[in-house]
Structure formats: C-alpha cells, structure tokens
Amino acid sequence: MSLRPLSLTAIVIAAALPAALPAHGQSRPNEEYFSNATAAAGKTITRKRCAELEALETANWVEVGGSGECLRYYAAGLKPDANPMVAAWMHGDIMGSKPDKIGHQEGLSVAGMIEQERRLSDRFGVPFLFLARPGAYGSSGKFWTMRHTPREAALMNAHLDLLKKRYGIREWSLGGSSAGGTLTAEFLARRTDLRCAVISSGASAYQAYLTARNATTRLAKPETWFDPYRSLDRIAKDPARRIFVIGDPRETNVLFRTQRLYFDGLAGRGHAAWLVPLERARPPRFHGLVDFGETATGLCAQGTDTDSLLRTLETMPDQPERISN
C-alpha cells in the first residue's frame, strides 16, 4: 500500500498544533544550574524553550489572565498516568529585604533537585515533587515583584492542576515552608484535593504577620497580597483531611502567635488540624523547619497515623544547613 504525501497546508497545520507529551513520571536533568544574579534580574523563558523543558518533565507553561510563565518542577517516583497520592513541596522566599539579598538556590542544579526528590520518594514510598515558584529555582518571572501576590497564587494553583491532569494525580499531600506554607494555607480554601496540608513556619495569618513586623507600607496596599486567614470560611469541610501547622515558638520572623492565630481559626471551624510547636529551628531567627515539614508531608502522604507522625517529628535530629528551602 502506498502512502500519499501530506500537502504543504497539512504540514503547516500539523506543525502548529502542540504535540501530546508522553509522561514518564521521572524528571530528567539538563546541565542547568540556578543563578542568584538571574533571579535578581528576573528570568524569561520563551514558550518554545518551555516546551523543551516540558519534554524533560521539569516544567509546565502556565497561563493566567492571558499571560504565561514557565514554572519548573522536579519529580521522582511518579507513574506515567495514574498516581492516587503525591507529595509536593513549595519552597519559601529566596530573597530577604532586598532584591539582591538571596540566601537560597545558588549552587544547586536541576540534576541536584531531581536527586533530592528521588531520595524523598524512596524514603517515604510515595511520589515527591518540588514546585518552583515564579522567578526561583529555574522558573520564569521576577521573584521580587511576584512573591506573595494574587498572581503568584493563581499561577501555582493552576500549576497543580496541570500536573494533576498530566500524571493522573487524585490527591495531594501538599507542604510548604515560610511563604510556601502561606501558599499551602491559601490553597486549602481553593482546592478540595488536599488530603494533607503542612504549613511549616508559614505566614498563614498574613496581615497579622505584617502588623507584627510593623510593615505598614505593605499594609497600605492590600491589593498586592493575599491572606489565608481571610479565606478560612471558604475551606470545605473534609474530616479525612489533616492539616499540620508547624512552627518554632522562638521564631523572630513569622511570630509563632500569628501561626497559632491561623490554627485557632481552623480548629474553631471544626477542621482536623494540629499545632506543632518544635523548638528545632536554627538561630538566630529560628525560622527554618524544612526537614521537619518535608517529613510531615511525606509521612502524611503514606498514611502514617497522626500520633506516629508527631512522635517522628519530635525525635528527629536537628537539621543541617541547607540551600534548598
């Protein structure tokens, strides 16, 4: 049987249509290292370049409000098309009070992030993903101006939807540190597929956090930030979902009393939530509890009972300094 050649018109149409990308379930590395200088300046990734990263299963092109960003993720342990439960982690801010004051990501690579997730997946026996926020860990965007904004929340929420569709994910065990914990709290009011939510050192009562820090200039511009505390009444009732609010009572950045305020809001509305005070963060700010948050996210994903999960956190060794957050 002879095959008729495609007409030029058919070729053009075929080239214009996006090809369905096969999903292997394992991110594949390139030679990329993360640069603090690039993060400070802002990173642009074209749609064409993002498609190449999508083929390596380290990115999604995410559109919100008619414009898009190439958001990165680093995954291990996923099955190609069906994943009942997946653990995912959202990092905290990589910048402090100035756009060039960057304390994380420099020296890390795509290969290193994939290996980090492989170790977590092997440890807990569940698929594990690291979700890079706009402008950080290889994602496009300008971190300084996009962090904490409604657009960032909308992009990350849409990113979860794309990953869910691509890999057949049914439920998430979602955790985050600091501003990643703030996003986790916000998504409790936006999603009904969170089986576990781990808010580690997160500013989940954001206005209270800003007030405690005397950040009056930010408070004068409420349109520039979102506050999960204001969204408490929109969280759907789900007795099977577990929420862990983890913090160090000695914290000098996101004061523990503001974390307790959000927990009290959860408990007062009848949600299954636990406040976990852990005096295990490193000085001087006592802010980072990333190892503990990741552990809670993984244990909750594997179905570990709450008492055992809390005992594990209490008996863990102190965490070393780490670049990824």
CATH of the domain at 79: 3.40.50.1820
pLDDT of residue 21: 61
Q: What was the pLDDT predicted at 22?
A: 62
8 located within any domain: no
Q: Beta partners for 274? A: 244
Residues of the chain with pLDDT under 70: 1-22, 219, 222-223
Determine, yes or no, domain membership for 5.
no
On whether residue 23 sits in a domain, the answer given is no
The dihedral sign for the CA sequence 189, 191, 195, 199? negative
Q: What residues contact 87, with CB distance under 8 A and at least 6 apart? A: 120, 124, 126, 127, 128, 129, 172, 173, 174, 175, 297, 298, 300, 301
Structural domain includes residue 30: no
Residue 240 lies in a domain: yes
Domain range enclosing 190: 71-315
* Residues 29, 111 contacting (CB under 8 angstroms): yes
Give the chain's domain count. Answer: 1
88: in domain: yes
Residue 26 in domain: no
Is 164 among the domain residues?
yes
